[in-house]
Amino acid sequence: MFRNSGRIFFNSLKKSNFKLINRNVITNSGRLFSTTTTTTTTTTNNIKESVEKKAENISNQDNIVSPSSKSIDISDLAGNADYNFVFERIKTCDRENYINSLLISDPIARRVAYAIRVFNIETVANDHSPKSEKISRLRLSFWKDAINNIYNGKVYDQPLTRVLAQVIKEKKLTKTWFIKILNRREKDNQQVQIKDMDELEQYADDIHSSLILLTLEGLGVKGNHDVEHCASHLGKAIGIMVLIRGTIFHLGNRKTYIPVSLTTKYGINVESLYRGDAQLEKLQNAIYEMASCAKLHLDKAKQFRGKIPHPANEAFLSVSVVEDFLERLRKVDFNIFEYPNTQQHPLLLMKLYKNKFFKQF
């Protein structure tokens, strides 16, 4: 009996000692973990503080600014690689305005024209799908920030922004025209269809007249009432021409710039157009009215011949391009599906050179 009670007592003591040992191990390991965590946190904070101090010292010593929004002097803005990028971009994407800009005599004004036209290319949405609209909004937001930053003395580290900053500072280009283009692009991105002919003219004026006015400022012409009036009419004519010429492409992307007033007037079913139903006769009537509006503005622009001083006439050489387009469209009875969209008249280039040589448009 005593032996059994002794064994029971000894066994209970062993169990109790085992538990005590385990508790000590757990307690000690917890303290060790706590000490390690505290040490790691302290070390991390020390490293972070030292890195921040070093970065601050380097920034103070060398005056380093973020490369995406740094202030640069004119002499350090655009290099040959940047100008080559702009040159190749317009040559590839906008052959028509590449040729017109190539005919500008002053090399600095020519660089301005190239930069402005490439800026226009960068703000255009390639299609109107929901995904593309989101990308277009981001792109326009970037360019609006980029233009505002340039006028605030900061330049994004990107080839076109460096070239734009260079020409803006050299020629004192007006910020209003850049913002006007971007605002219209933003509105166009949200809009399904233009309402009427007045809004169509306003669309063309906001974009294409602004581009001509910026080109004129590059040529050193600013504040001339006749020149600005001519630029407004020619910009409207060019803008309407561009929209007519792009009708087939836009329809393929479920977008149309034929105003609601014309589709209603001639009974055009826009959804059927998207599905491939040409509704040829009705569409011809609508295109005819749009072309007539472009011709009206073109004729008003041509009335300023003889009143435009040199070298401002070099910004209006596109008159010949619009004339050629409208004449060829008339010959196919305003059937946009039969218009030879990929070709220009073989004598058009000679006409442009002649107008440049005789300082006319």
Burial class (CB in 10 A: 0-12, 13-18, 19+), 33: exposed
Where do runs of H (alpha helix) occur along 152-209? 159-171, 175-190, 197-204
Measure the CA–CA gap between 353 and 167, rounded to whole angstroms: 26
Tell me the pLDDT tens digit for each residue of 36-92.
Answer: 444 444 444 554 455 445 444 433 433 333 334 455 544 567 889 999 999 999 999
Residue 248 is predicted with a pLDDT of 93
Residues 6+ apart with CB under 8 A from 192: none
pLDDT above 80: residue 343: no
Cis geometry, peptide bond prior to residue 311 (ω within 30 degrees of 0): yes
Tell me the pLDDT tens digit for each residue of 143-175.
Answer: 999 999 999 989 998 999 999 999 999 999 999
**pTM of whole model > 0.85?**
no
pLDDT category of residue 28 using cuts at 50, 70 and 90 = very low
Q: Are 272 and 279 in contact (CB under 8 A)?
A: yes
pLDDT above 50: residue 347: yes
Residue (of 287, 297, 301, 210) closest to 250 by Cα position: 287
Lowest-pLDDT choice from 74-88, 107-121, 124-138, 283-297 = 124-138
Q: Supply the DSSP symbol for 309.
A: P
* 78 phi/psi in degrees, rounded to 5: -100, 135
Residues 6+ apart with CB under 8 A from 268: 258, 262, 279, 282, 283, 286
Q: Which two tokens stand for residue 126?
A: 């390639």
